[in-house]
Amino acid sequence: GVPHRSIKDDVYNGMFIPEGSTVFPNIRGISLDEHIYSDPHVFNPMRFMSKEKGGKGEPYFFAQWGFGRRVCPGRYLAETGLWLAIATILTTLSIQKAKDENGKEIEPEIKFADGMVSQTYPFRCDIIPRSESAAMLILKV
């Protein structure tokens, strides 16, 4: 997360935090808390669906947008833009495992880079338009 500075002496969970201390929210630790999320290292979007709809009913993680009065004011616009981008990509493109020279699928090795923003290292995949009209639409952009 983004660093903050404490404006006065404080005590949190028994730990003294002096005024002027730099404080980092441990977003990675929060999002991988095994007391909240079952199998937190496994990519499983179904975890956030309600149990009635076949999911696990685990709470959606909002900490990436910040906390309290410093929460990102553009979070709803950003989430809507991300949803539209992902929906458009999945509607128009088929994303598949890459194939080697013999036509055998290459299993991607998913590794994450550490840092302020965690992301996967690049891996090979095949991206194919789902239809001729989708290909034409993509070429117009």
First to last CA, the chain: 34
Residue 14 burial (CB count, 10 A): 5
Residue 72, annotated ligand binder? yes
Q: Residue ranges for the binding site for heme?
A: 72
Q: Residue ranges for the binding site?
A: 72
